[in-house]
Structure 1
Amino acid sequence: MPDTKLPPALTAPRTRALALCGALIAALFGVAAFVPLPYTLTWPGVTADTLGSYQDKPVLTITGAPVRTPSGELRMVTISATNPGEKTTFWRSLRAWFDQDEAIRPTETVYPQGDPAKAEEVTAQQMVESQDSATAAALSYLHLSPDQVKVKVDLGDIGGPSAGQMLALGIVDKLAGDGKGGDLTGGLKVAGTGTIDDQGAVGAVGGVPLKTQAAARDGATVFLLPKDECADAKVNTPAGLRLVPVGTLGEAVSALDALRTGGAVPSC
């Protein structure tokens, strides 16, 4: 019968202790890989042309003034995220870390309210406020009275405040174009993001690296963004997408004019 005794080095107390520690560590990593973490997975979301339709309904319906039918596109962009109550695991988070089309963020920064129903309520209210501010900013820019001109916005169940800039530009393009009979976009596919207030100031929104991915995926060649987010936007910028930073609605209109006419265009 062959000798099956292990070498002394493999049966020594020190070796057995190290083997036990290794097994425990492996077990801990195994458990950690499946333990839910307080992080939310995000990725490029849908885009919608504010000059066109979304889910078979016009995004902008304007009454009280003549309305144009512009060419080109002015796309608002979104990011998608796992549900507020859904936890991601260590391995899923690690995979997202190395994927430029995904990002992992602390759940509290994506859903500060915690409760899923409350989160939806808040983002829906933010969208309503964004629509009102976009309308006020656009009509003020065009010197039109909100008592006369009415704007209805329909973006389905999209929430949040980040569509403000592109909604305002859509209203301006539909009502006045470039002011000379042409379109704001000059026929280009333009996307962008940014909040807007009643005075037309464009504000930061977050998630820009994912939004540029969504914009390029849906054919945009120009991306308008808040000035303060240039550094973020330059992370993994898609090839062929031109970043144009702006601080106000007026600056956004001027940038589009420069793109059409070959003038000096701001860049990140």
Structure 2
Amino acid sequence: MSWFKSLSVRGRTLSIGLVLTGVLVVAGSTVSIPYVALGPGVTINTLGTYDGAPIYTFAGEDIPPAVNENFGDGSHLNMTTVSVTDGMTLFGALGLWASGNSALVPREEVYPPGQTTEQVKEENAKSFKESQNSSEIAALTYLKYPQVIYVGTIADNSPSYDVLDPQDQVVAVDGVQVADSAALQAALANTTPGQVVTVTVLRAAPGGSAAQKDLKVTLGKNPDPAAESGRGFLGIVPQMRPVAPFTISNSLAKSDIGGPSAGLMFTLGIIDRLTSGDLTSGHYIAGTGTIDTSGVVGPIGGILMKMIAAKDVGATIFLVPADNCTEALTRVPSGLQLVKVAKLTDATTALDLISKGETPPGC
């Protein structure tokens, strides 16, 4: 270190500064930080194709002729996504932030502690599948397809646990036809705990078909003190859902897209495919929002990034969940019209107004 001691004070200061700068440069360009960057993701037209296959395909009987209508290149109902960049260095993160199209958030907001990246992806994939199921139910309900009874929710450790499936359509109990919840209750009226009953269901099979199954359930005792005593307990919360004589397949089910936020756009895509005409009236429409089976549209994350993604691909109208409007208004891309949506009928009414040249309610 004799060379260092021989330097002037200014020389020593400069040398130390250069070393510290070098350390900072190395660390900033090689060491990962506990943040991820959220940015505009892919957008996919639900009226179009994915990997060369139509987003929606239909199989079965009485498929509406409308599914064969040819949508023009100008017809868009795009779902939007957010990209996630993980494993960033400090300099990489600063570069994305400086671009103005990305937001930095703590990594634990996307990948919670105690969960691996694969576990998070599996949960997102499950949410995506549930979103597809909810969108199909919401669309068929909107189109007034007949309602039938499904198993619905199954309580843990109930008599039906690991025997019935929430997606089973209930057909009969001990040979007595069941059309709704009242009929199901009537079929169980004279049963007792410990009695074995045969529940006939229609269960979805690979390829979209459905197979009838006779399943044995040993009834239990209802744990609810207010329930009628002595009656056998099946342990389900049945749900009425619409049913069509055909099945609906979504090609995005095989993609690596995750999360529930495409629900609204999936629903609109199904409705447009099953009805004559064009919901978009030739407009480039994009949007986001979860949807439940009753058609209620819920808020999502990354609204600003999704609006940027929509604008980048040419969208001029963006459907915004009502609860996201306040955030959406903080940064509206130039030329993008925001439409406020709290439920499915808000969206369909808005699209009808747009087709007439009128302005729907905005954020």
Q: Same fold (TM over 0.5)?
A: yes
Match of 1:65 in 2: 63
C-alpha contact (below 8 Å) 1:40/1:81 kept by paired residues? yes
* Structure number with higher helix proportion: 1
- In structure 2, the residue matched to 1:248 is 343
Contact 1:50–1:75, Cα closer than 8 Å, also in 2 = yes
Mapped to 1, the partners of 2:273 and 2:105 lie a distance apart of 37
Deviation string 1:14-58 (CA, Å, 9 cap, x unpaired) is x79977885676466445524311111232221111111111111
Q: Give the superposed CA RMSD.
A: 2.5
Map of 1:120-199 to 2, 5 A cutoff? 120-144=121-145, 145-155=242-252, 156-177=255-276, 182-199=277-294
Equivalent-residue separation in structure 2 for 1:235 and 1:218 (angstroms): 21
State the alpha-carbon separation in 1 of the partners of residues 273 and 56 from structure 2. 9
Of 69, 75, 78 in structure 1, the residue corresponding to residue 78 of structure 2 is 75
Do 1:75 and 1:166's aligned partners in 2 also have CA atoms closer than 8 Å? yes
Contact kept, 8 Å, 2:140 with 2:244, in 1: the verdict is: no
Letter in 2 for 1:188: H
Is structure 2 residue 219 aligned with structure 1 residue 221? no
Amino acid of the residue matched to residue 263 of structure 2? G
Q: Tell me, which stretches of 5 or more residues in structure 2 are unaligned?
A: 1-5, 146-241
Q: Deviations over 1:137-163 (max 9, x none)?
A: 111111113242421111122221111
Q: Distance in 2 between matches of 1:114 and 1:106?
A: 15
Distance in 1, matches of 2:65 and 2:262, equals: 21
Between 227-236 and 184-193, report the one with greater CA deviation.
227-236
Which whole-Å CA distance do the structure 2 matches of 1:216 and 1:53 have between them? 20
TM-score using structure 2 length? 0.63
Q: Quick one: which amino acid aligns to residue 268 of structure 2?
A: L
* 1:258 correspondence with 2:348: no
Identity of aligned residues (%): 40
CA distance in 2, matches of 1:172, 1:264: 22
- Structure 1 residue ranges (4+ consecutive) displaced by more than 6 angstroms after TM superposition: 15-21
CA distance 1:17–1:103, change in 2 (3 Å): same
Q: Secondary structure at the match of 2:109?
A: helix
Distance, in Å, in 2 between the alignment partners of 1:267 and 1:152 is 33
Q: 5+ unaligned residues in a row in structure 1: which ranges?
A: 1-5
Larger radius of gyration: 2
Report how many aligned residue pairs link the two structures.
Answer: 251
In the TM superposition, 1:18-167 aligns within 5 A as 26=21, 29-30=24-25, 32-33=27-28, 34-63=30-59, 64-68=62-66, 69=69, 70-71=71-72, 72-82=75-85, 86-112=86-112, 114-144=115-145, 145-155=242-252, 156-167=255-266
Give the alignment of 1:230-241 within 5 angstroms: 230-241=325-336
Which has the larger displacement, 124-133 or 70-79? Answer: 70-79
Q: Partners of 1:61 and 1:214 in 2: how far apart?
A: 26
| Secondary structure of 2:132 counterpart | helix
TM-aligned CA deviation for residue 232 of structure 1:
2.6
Please say which of residues 219-228 and 28-37 is displaced more in the overlay: 28-37
Give the strand-richer structure, 1 or 2: 2
- Counterpart amino acid of residue 104 in structure 1: L
Give the secondary structure class of the aligned counterpart of 1:206: coil
